[in-house]
Chain A
Amino acid sequence: MATKEFDFKYYIRSRFFPHIWCPGCGHGIVLGSLLRAIHELGLDKNEIVMTSGIGCSSRISGYVDFHSLHTIHGRALTFATGVKLAKPGITAIVPMGDGDALAIGGNHFIHAARRNIDITAIVMNNRIYGMTGGQFSPLSGLGKKATTAPFSTIDNQFDVVELAKSAGASFVARSTVFHATECKDLLKKAISHKGFSVVEILSQCPTYYGRKNKQGDAVQMMEGFKTNTVKLGSKKLEKNPDLIQRGIFVEDTQKAEYCEAYDKIIATAMKGDA
Chain B
Amino acid sequence: MTLQNNIRFVQGNEACVEGALYAGVNFFAGYPITPSTEIAEHLAERLPRQGGKFIQMEDEIASMGAILGASLTGKKVMTATSGPGFSLKQEALGYACMAEIPCVIANVQRGGPSTGNPTHVSQGDVNQARWGTHGDHAIIALTASNNQDVFTITVEAFNLAETYRTPVIILLDEVVGHMREKLTIPEQEDIPVVGRLRTAVAKGVDYHPYLPREDGRLPMSDFGAEHRYNVTGLFHDMWGFPSNNPKVVSELLRHLVDKIENNAESITMFKEYWLDDADYILVSYGSSARSAIHIAKNRRARGVKIGVLELQTLWPFPTDMVREKCANAKAVLVVEMNMGQVVTQVKNAVDNPNNVFLANRIDGQLISPTDIKTILRMIQGKGV
Contacts and interface: CB of A to CB of B under 8 A. Distances in A.
Contacts, number: 136
A115 to B, nearest CB: 9
B24 interface: no
Contacts of B224: 46-47, 49, 67, 87, 89-90
A70 B232 contact: yes
B225 A86 contact: no
Contact of B234 (A51, A70, A84, A269): A70
Contact of B48 (A78, A81, A87, A269): A269
A270 B47 CA distance: 10
A62 B50 CA distance: 35
A80 B69 contact: yes
B231 interface: yes
Nearest to A79: B69
A8 B241 CA distance: 20
Interface of B: 27, 29, 45, 48-51, 53, 55, 57-59, 61-75, 77, 91-92, 95, 222-226, 228-234, 241-242
Nearest to B61: A75
Contact of A86 (B48, B50, B58, B73): B73
A111 interface: yes
A80 B70 CA distance: 8
Interface string A56-68: 0000011001111
* 10 A-B pairs closest in CB distance: A82-B69, A78-B65, A82-B66, A86-B70, A269-B48, A79-B69, A82-B70, A111-B58, A83-B69, A78-B62
Interface residues of A, number: 43
Given A70-B233, A72-B92, A83 B49 contact: no
B58 A107 contact: yes
Interface of B (DSSP majority class): mixed
Nearest to A74: B61
In the complex, which of the residues B48, B64, B69 has the most CB atoms of chain A within 10 Å of its own CB atom? Answer: B69
Given A13-B241, A269-B45, 12 more contacts: A46-B226, A68-B229, A70-B232, A70-B233, A78-B61, A82-B67, A82-B71, A82-B73, A85-B55, A108-B65, A270-B49, A273-B49
A77 B224 CA distance: 18
Contacts of B58: 107-108, 111
**Interface residue SS majority, chain A:** helix
B5 to A, nearest CB: 15
Interface string A229-267: 000000000000000000000000000000000100110
A86 B232 contact: no
B61 A86 contact: no
Contact of B27 (A46, A82, A90): A82
B242 A62 contact: yes
Contacts of B222: 87
A45 interface: yes
27 contacts: A46-B225, A47-B224, A66-B228, A69-B69, A70-B234, A70-B242, A72-B92, A72-B233, A75-B61, A75-B62, A75-B92, A78-B57, A79-B65, A80-B69, A81-B62, A82-B66, A82-B68, A82-B73, A82-B77, A83-B223, A86-B27, A87-B73, A87-B74, A90-B223, A107-B58, A107-B59, A108-B65
Interface of A: 13, 15-16, 45-47, 49, 51, 61-62, 65-72, 75, 77-87, 89-90, 107-108, 111, 262, 265-266, 268-270, 272-273
A29 B230 CA distance: 22
Nearest to A15: B241
B66 A79 contact: yes
B230 A70 contact: yes
A61 B229 CA distance: 11
Contacts of A87: 73-74, 222-224
B66 A81 contact: yes
B69 A51 contact: yes
B223 A67 contact: yes
A266 B51 contact: yes
Nearest to A262: B53
A45, A79, A85, A86: residue with the most chain B Cβ atoms closer than 10 Å: A86
A95 to B, nearest CB: 14
B231 A86 contact: no
A80 B66 CA distance: 7
Considering residues B61, B63, B65, B229, which has the most beta carbons from chain A within 10 angstroms of its beta carbon?
B65
A262 B64 CA distance: 20
A81 B228 contact: no
A47 B225 CA distance: 8
A83 B95 contact: no
A90 B69 CA distance: 12
A66 to B, nearest CB: 6
Contacts of B230: 13, 61-62, 68, 70
Nearest to B57: A78
B372 to A, nearest CB: 43
Contacts of A13: 230, 241
Given A79-B69, A82-B66, A86-B75, A70 B231 contact: yes
A68 B45 CA distance: 32
A271 to B, nearest CB: 10
A262 B50 CA distance: 13
A46 B92 CA distance: 26
